[in-house]
Amino acid sequence: MSLKNFGKAALLVAVVAACGKNRQQVTENGLKYTIHEQSEGTRKGKVGDILTLHLTLMNNKDSVLRDTHKEGAPFQMLLQVPPFKGSYEEGLTMLGKGDSATFYVSADSLFTRAMQPLPPGVQKGTDIGIAVKVVNVQTEDEYKKTQAADMEKQKGIDAKVIENYIAKNGMAGKAQKTESGVYYVVTQPGSGPTPQKGEVVQVHYTGKLLDGKVFDSSRTNPQAGGKPAQFQLGVGMVIPGWEEGVSKLHKGEKATLIIPSSLAYGPRGNQAIPANSVLLFDIELIDIQKGQAPQPGMPQPSR
């Protein structure tokens, strides 16, 4: 083949490949999708891999229901066998690092499988658009190693942030530090006992970011109804920073806990808490009881 003809052939291949992008297609199982970017040489996701991705959920009128770009951290998931025909897990196996696509999934199937009601703005019988940008594809072992390295790095960052906060807010000499890095400042001493593992504690709390913004409080949370939060200590019902901080307090005591992100919500955060946030909790330990706890209050561990 002459160079001239080779050039024409290469151009034809490029045109054909481009035609597959930004055009809605359908798999044999009924998943509707549009590929935006797809590199041939990248490793594609497979069942058992951990995917890190940004996603935007849209209803059939293109109104955005969720956008992880605005949440401060990408979404991470274990890629599982597609739970129903037309589920977007099938489409994720087409994508590798840097690839992007939009999948159109039956809202009825998606939310029924998750045992959730249709959210506001989503009508029965319509499709949910899931726009995906893959940040990384890792095996479980690769993911764990990356997580461990990132967490160790973040511990150093959090330690400096907390030290600076304590210095700027006149807490030097008042703040006590636990072995794992939780700081607590007693603001009103208590004379009662400290809680032991397995006991049920009742606490009032107000959770804040370091800039003072309140993200939750047992006194105003409608789910709590103004009542103290209750949880059993030492069984993983709340974030680790709470477990350790509350165990240092005496009944009747008030204190401020300063919790590094690794013992709070870590790199995932949540809708109210940005990723890798050091958190403040004003805590009042109201009561300590024996026996099994009722439903736990906030803040529950991030899963």
Give the C-alpha separation, 252 to 274, whole Å.
31
Contact (CB, 8 A) for 231 and 285? no
And the tokens for 216? 């939750």
And the tokens for 275? 């990723």
Residue of 99, 127, 158, 216 with catalytic role? 216
Which has the closest alpha carbon to 90: 132, 40, 144?
A: 132
* Whether residue 130 lies in the annotated active site: no
Residue of 130, 265, 283, 286 with catalytic role? 265
The owner of tokens 């439903």 is: 295
Give the C-alpha separation, 211 to 12, whole Å.
57
Residue of 281, 283, 286, 288 with catalytic role? 281
Q: In Å, what is the CA distance from 196 to each residue of 107, 202, 235, 249, 250? A: 46, 13, 11, 11, 11
Cβ neighbors of 267 (< 8 A, separation 6 or more) are 73, 150, 154, 261, 275, 276
* Whether residue 265 lies in the annotated active site: yes
Residue of 111, 215, 282, 287 with catalytic role? 215
Give the C-alpha separation, 219 to 225, whole Å.
7
Residue of 130, 239, 258, 286 with catalytic role? 239
And the tokens for 235? 């069984």
Residue of 205, 231, 259, 288 with catalytic role? 205
Contact (CB, 8 A) for 129 and 106? no
What DSSP assignment string belongs to 142-194?
A: HHHHHHHHHHHHHHHHHHHHHHHHHHHTT-TTT-EE-TTS-EEEEEE---SPP
* Whether residue 239 lies in the annotated active site: yes
And the tokens for 94? 């087409």
Contact (CB, 8 A) for 265 and 71? no
CA 155, 158, 163, 166 dihedral sign is: negative
Which has the closest alpha carbon to 50: 70, 88, 86, 80?
A: 80
Catalytic residue numbers read: 205, 215-216, 239, 265, 281
